[in-house]
């Protein structure tokens, strides 16, 4: 039973990680699109970049949870 729970947790973390990575890519596309406008909204771009950085931190934290600590 314990292994099932740990497999379910791992699968959920992997799904969450995939979702965050997709959202990160989507933000990157949105930022690029805004930057290519004739007169881009600098404040909106700044907010999107900040959100993108927060997502990157979440991605890193989830990746660390999925990767076992191995001491060399």
DSSP secondary structure of 2-25: HHHHHHHHHHHHHHHHHHHHHHHH
Q: Compute the distance between CA of residue 72 and CA of residue 70 in angstroms, rounded to an integer.
A: 6
pTM passes above 0.85: no
How far out from the chain centre does Cα 61 lie? Answer: 10
Computed over every residue of the chain, the mean pLDDT equals 90
Q: How large a percentage of the chain has pLDDT more than 70?
A: 90
Express each pLDDT in 28-62 by its tens digit: 999 999 999 878 889 999 999 999 999 999 999 99
Span 4-21, average pLDDT: 91
């Amino acid at each position: 039973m314990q292994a099932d729970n740990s497999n379910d947790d791992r699968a959920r973390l992997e799904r969450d990680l995939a979702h965050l990575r997709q959202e990160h890519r989507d933000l990157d596309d949105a930022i690029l699109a805004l930057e290519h406008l004739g007169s881009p909204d600098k404040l909106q771009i700044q907010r999107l970049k900040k959100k993108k950085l927060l997502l990157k931190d979440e991605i890193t934290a989830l990746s660390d949870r999925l990767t076992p600590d191995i001491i060399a």
